[in-house]
Chain A
Amino acid sequence: MKRCECIGMLYPELDDKVVVTIMGACAQELYDLGHKENFFYLQHAMGLASSIGLGLALHLPHEKIVVLDGDGSVLMNLGTLATLARYRPRNLVHVIFDNGSLLSTGGFDSHTTSGITDLAAIARGAGIEQVASVDSVMAFGEAAIDAFARNDLSVIVARVAAVGPNHYGMDLQLPENAFRFRRWIAARKTAAVKPGGAPALSTQESP
């Protein structure tokens, strides 16, 4: 399966979620479906998308956070899986697209190529209980539905082909993305209401 097929399947579900992607192909494929204000593209700092997700998830307990990660990025920050397991943010879905390749930088094999390194096993070994390992679009969709419905930290390792878009570029400056992303979250917090209609607890905005 292709990563773009998986992202295409997720896309309609992302309107009300806080989304962080890694750089390169993954960011571009999401952007090409149509940018939304709740998408943050981490165009560098490989490895930190899941750490940003942790910071968001712990401080926004009423939001669902979705991190779209990759094998190369996760391999740069394996400690993140242990930190995620320790704090277990129940509102975080960590999708790792494993294409076994450092695709955006020339397609060199990563350590997951040919199954040498098993990221799902590492995630389980780090202490994450809900880990799915999928290699078909159907199985990915089911795992994503389960993860979105589940009130627990969920990792989905999706084995995908090492193919990406034939173009790169966004009409979005990097700080602009950060400012607008933060503003979307702030507006959500202000507008948030509990099911009963009373204002949510966490509406405080820092200056």
Chain B
Amino acid sequence: MSVSYENSKVVFQGIKDAGITSLSALPETWLGLLLQQAEKDPDVRLIQVAKEEEAIGVAAGAYFAGERHILLMQNHGFLAAMNGIVSLALLYGIPLCMLIALRGHWGEPYPWHTRGGIVTEGVLRALNIPFEYARDPKEVGRQIREAYTFSQSSLSPVALLLTRDLMEEAL
């Protein structure tokens, strides 16, 4: 199975159309083609972190600076960022618009992804973080725009879960 080039382009265009000018990310397979486009785009600043929790701090700094910023990470990175999400974003009322690659879910062939995939939705619910699944390339642009808008109005982390349907080539 390979990552969908077309849909990676669609997601990146959705990010651009939402007026996003700054991204923090830790590269992962499903996000690779998307991040390559971000690297090439002179109008978007890509900040690559060593661990996803750093990106919560970077996103807070970008928010304080008045920049339109989103975060891209794998769901295991979301789990690795937990204390930053709880004790910076939720504690201080700092918005985070997180696009999260939902590995380890329906159709997952790799055992190592499965446990994180199984718990992701439950963790989001436990933290009261609003989330939606992105499955359809025709809808994802709107979903990104709305996720960003909602993060800013609610001063909350929000998550858009990028699913296998969207990110991998159909068989």
Give the B-binding residues of A (Cβ under 8 A).
Answer: 18, 40, 42-60, 77, 79-80, 82-83, 86-87, 174-175, 177-179, 181-182, 185-186, 189, 204-207
CA A169 – CA B147 in complex, angstroms? 36
* CB-based contact A83/B54 at 8 Å: yes
CA A138 – CA B155 in complex, angstroms? 43
A-B complex: 10 closest residue pairs judged by Cβ atoms: A55-B61, A51-B57, A79-B50, A48-B57, A59-B65, A44-B87, A55-B58, A45-B88, A56-B61, A175-B93
CA A77 – CA B55 in complex, angstroms? 12
Decide if the interface of chain A is mainly helix, strand, loop or mixed. helix
Given A48-B57, A58-B47, A83-B49, A206-B68 contact (CB < 8 Å): yes
* CB-based contact B61/A59 at 8 Å: yes
* CB-based contact B68/A177 at 8 Å: no
CA A173 – CA B68 in complex, angstroms? 25
* CB-based contact A49/B57 at 8 Å: yes
When distances are taken between beta carbons in the complex, the residues of chain B under 8 Å from A178 are: 64, 92-94
Residue of A nearest to B57 (CB): A51
* CB-based contact B62/A55 at 8 Å: yes
Known: A43-B91, A83-B50, A206-B67. 10 other contacts (CB 8 A): A48-B88, A52-B58, A55-B24, A55-B47, A80-B54, A83-B48, A177-B92, A181-B64, A182-B66, A207-B152
Identify 7 residue pairs between A and B in the complex whose beta-carbon atoms are under 8 Å apart, listed by A's number. Answer: A45-B86, A49-B57, A54-B54, A59-B62, A59-B66, A175-B93, A206-B152
* CB-based contact A48/B22 at 8 Å: no
Choose from B22, B84, B92 the contact partner of A59 (Cβ within 8 Å): B22
Residue of A nearest to B61 (CB): A55
* CB-based contact B64/A55 at 8 Å: yes
B142 within 8 A of A: no
Given A54-B47, A86-B48, A182-B92 contact (CB < 8 Å): no
Residue of A nearest to B60 (CB): A52
* CB-based contact A55/B66 at 8 Å: no
CA A43 – CA B87 in complex, angstroms? 8
What is the minimal beta-carbon distance from A188 to any residue of chain B, in angstroms? 10
When distances are taken between beta carbons in the complex, the residues of chain B under 8 Å from A179 are: 93
B53 within 8 A of A: yes
